[in-house]
Each structure stands twice: as structure tokens, then as C-alpha cells.
């Protein structure tokens, strides 16, 4: 049974469709031109891609890899497998790591808290390997944990061969996968996410500056991570909050630190200026009411189990429509959460979200007399 319902915007940003300027006749302005190997701008709440280019192409992530290293480390902290005050003995391998460094000394004992700051703020390869060895016994075993976590998060085009982001033929990710990872960091580890906004950090009498220039240039930006190698170019994943929205921008393969910052800032500004995200339906909110036969009640409310956020070009929410398709005959008993229909949110001919509709309550079988009456009604219907 199809129903067409008007959409009422209720508040704050789930759809996984790509939304690009070329395919979207409602967009107010063309997106900025970005000189990078690949990029993606995604809304955190709706998970909708606003602008993208080569978003699913495999590329070197450089030190953006440490986002996954930090995610795994924080998962271990949350599981209480390690503690922030645990002391980690720095191995010679960790000490000898090339690239960016936290300047830990071989044989020194450094607590997990200090090393985690070295990973996130300083992008220290030595701190990253030291924690990898402490958690898994070896960097190789830790990398296996990273790849399992990537699979669990749905990063299906990502594979890590080290914990730091040094180049490797089997070390790659995509802009879309890195956006998924950024969202997971913000969602799953809000306590440690504040580290990504820390502008500088000092250890062993060496003060180092966070390489994310946007922390100084844009007060709305509160993370995440930079990366650079000669082969990967200059990369940046950043997130910002503004106008009840949170956006995640991923830029890979620019030619300078300033270029990656400017490209990322341009994407964020475009998203905030021309798009908006709102919560259309809350979890467990009745969206439609359907008749139920042979039950203790005559009607049943259907809705969603999770909040539904939609991102659309500004000024277009009043043009959204919700199309509801439910089972023609629903017979009691039903259970809470039973799948009984689908819902599609559309803007013109474009689908913006498709979701399952479930029963929001249990309905038990009615009396024998009521069941017999409904059997007669169903027969003549």
C-alpha cells in the first residue's frame, strides 16, 4: 500500500547516495574547483556526499593512517586492555623510525597517554610503533588489528601494511573510506577526539605544532589529521561544526601544505553555505498508522529504529516528500521491531533516503470472536 506524506523538518543530520553538483538540479551554485588526486565532502549526520571526485579510487593515505592507529588504540583503552598510565618501553625499532617523530628515547618508559598525544598531535612515527608493539606485541600484529577494524567499519577499499603511513604497495585507502573512519572517531571516541584539536604539544623539551593549519585559520574546525609523503602528496582530513551541521572533508594528493588547507577550507565553506542538514524523523517516532487484522488492537504505528537526517540544498526542505509502502494485509500477532514496510524520501524525482519501516509496538492476537469477524471482512475484501 503506497502513501505519499509531506515531510516536516523536525530538527538536525542517513542516506548514502552521492550528491554532486552535476547531478543535482536544486544546487544553488557549482562546487569549488579542487586541485587534488581525490576528495570528498560528507555530512556527518546524514552520511551524504555533497561533493566528490575519485572518492573510491585507491590512494596512499600517508599519515592519515594514524587515524586508524589511534582508533584501535582508543578501542583498547575503552575495553580496558590498556590504561593511559601504563608505561611503555620504547624499542629500538620505534626509536629508529624515520619521518615525523615524538623524540622518544630507546629503553625509556613512556606512558600511553603521552604516546597517544604523540600519535595524534605530533604524528610521531616512533610513538605510533611503540604503542603498536605495546598493544599487539609487534607492529605486524597491530596492523592485522587495524585491517580487521577497517573491515568492521565498512572501509572495504582500504588495506594497511604499517601503522604509520609510510609508503607501501599494499598500503592504500580512499577518500570515502577515510571519511567513514573520521566519522567513527568522532562518534565512537568523543573523549579522545579533543586531542585532534590540540594546536601544539611538547615532549622531551621539543615543542611541536599540529600540522593541521585549519585549526588556526577556521574556528569551526576541530580536527582531524594531516599526512604527507613524496608519493602521496599533501593530504588532510578535517571536520567542522556550524549551523547545526558537522561536515567531514577529505583531500588527498595536493602539492603543498597550503594547497591542502585551502582546498579543504573551500569544501567546508561550500557545504555550510549551500547545504543544510536536518533531522526529519526521530527514532521510534510514529511515521504512519496502518490497520492490523485479528489483533487485540485495530491499528499499529510504524516508524524507524534510528534517527533519519537528510542533507539537501538550502531552501529545498519544503519540497521533500515521503513515500510509504506497507504490507497490504497485516495480521496479528506482530512483534516490536517487525519489518512491515519501506519509506522513501524524495526531492523531485531524486531519492534522498530509503529506510525500512518497523512496528513500534507489539500487538497480540485478538479474541476468537474478533478473529472470526476479521476473517469474514477479509474474505469479502
How many angstroms separate the CA atoms of 333 and 355, rounded? 23
How many angstroms separate the CA atoms of 302 and 286, rounded? 6
How many angstroms separate the CA atoms of 307 and 297, rounded? 27
In terms of Cα–Cα distance, which of 293, 300, 294, 280 is closest to 343?
Answer: 280
Largest CA distance in the chain: 86
Q: Which three cell numbers stand for residue 149?
A: 577494524
Pairing of strands 49-53, 38-43: antiparallel
How many angstroms separate the CA atoms of 67 and 303, rounded? 35
For helices 175-188 and 139-153, give the axis angle rounded to 10 degrees.
Answer: 90
What's the length of the chain?
381
How many angstroms separate the CA atoms of 130 and 93, rounded? 8
With contact defined as beta carbons under 8 Å apart, do 198 and 117 qualify? Answer: yes
DSSP 157: T
What residues are labeled active site?
63, 66, 123
DSSP 319: G
Residues facing residue 67 across a β-bridge:
none
Q: Could you give the 3-state DSSP secondary structure of residue 185?
A: helix
How many angstroms separate the CA atoms of 73 and 81, rounded? 10
Amino acid at each position: 500500500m503506497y502513501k505519499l506524506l509531506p515531510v516536516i523538518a523536525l530538527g538536525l543530520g542517513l542516506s548514502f547516495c552521492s550528491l554532486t553538483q552535476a547531478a543535482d538540479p536544486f544546487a544553488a551554485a557549482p562546487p569549488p574547483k579542487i586541485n587534488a588526486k581525490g576528495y570528498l565532502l560528507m555530512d556527518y549526520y546524514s552520511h551524504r556526499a555533497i561533493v566528490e571526485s575519485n572518492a573510491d579510487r585507491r590512494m596512499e593515505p600517508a599519515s592519515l593512517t594514524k587515524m586508524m592507529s589511534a582508533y584501535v588504540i582508543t578501542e583498547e583503552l575503552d575495553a580496558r586492555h590498556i590504561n593511559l598510565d601504563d608505561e611503555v618501553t620504547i624499542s629500538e625499532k620505534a626509536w629508529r623510525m624515520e619521518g615525523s617523530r615524538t623524540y622518544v628515547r630507546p629503553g625509556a618508559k613512556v606512558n600511553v597517554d603521552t604516546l597517544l598525544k604523540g600519535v595524534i598531535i605530533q604524528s610521531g612515527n616512533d610513538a605510533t610503533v611503540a604503542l603498536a608493539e605495546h598493544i599487539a606485541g609487534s607492529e605486524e600484529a597491530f596492523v592485522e588489528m587495524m585491517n580487521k577494524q577497517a573491515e568492521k567499519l565498512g572501509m572495504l577499499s582500504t588495506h594497511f601494511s604499517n601503522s604509520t603511513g609510510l609508503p607501501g604497495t599494499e598500503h592504500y585507502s580512499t577518500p570515502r573510506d577515510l571519511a567513514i573512519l573520521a566519522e567513527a572517531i568522532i562518534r565512537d571516541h568523543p573523549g579522545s577526539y579533543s586531542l585532534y584539536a590540540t594546536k601544539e604539544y611538547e615532549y622531551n623539551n621539543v615543542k611541536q605544532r599540529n600540522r593541521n593549519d585549519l585549526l588556526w585559520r577556521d574556528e569551526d574546525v576541530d580536527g582531524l589529521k594531516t599526512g604527507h609523503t613524496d608519493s602521496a602528496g599533501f593530504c588532510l582530513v578535517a571536520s567542522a561544526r556550524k549551523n547545526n551541521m558537522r561536515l567531514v572533508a577529505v583531500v588527498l594528493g595536493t602539492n603543498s601544505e597550503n594547497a591542502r588547507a585551502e582546498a579543504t577550507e573551500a569544501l567546508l565553506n561550500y557545504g555550510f553555505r549551500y547545504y543544510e542538514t536536518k533531522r526529519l524523523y526521530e527514532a521510534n517516532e510514529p511515521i504512519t498508522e496502518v490497520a492490523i487484522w485479528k489483533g487485540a488492537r485495530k491499528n499499529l504505528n510504524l516508524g524507524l529504529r534510528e534517527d533519519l537526517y537528510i542533507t539537501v540544498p538550502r531552501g529545498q526542505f519544503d519540497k521533500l516528500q515521503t513515500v510509504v509502502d506497507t504490507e497490504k494485509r497485516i495480521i496479528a500477532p506482530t512483534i516490536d521491531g517487525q519489518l512491515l514496510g519501506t519509506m522513501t524520501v524524495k526531492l523531485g524525482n531524486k531519492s534522498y533516503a530509503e529506510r525500512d519501516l518497523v512496528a513500534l509496538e507489539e500487538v497480540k492476537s485478538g479474541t476468537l470472536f474478533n478473529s472470526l469477524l476479521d476473517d469474514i471482512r477479509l474474505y469479502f475484501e
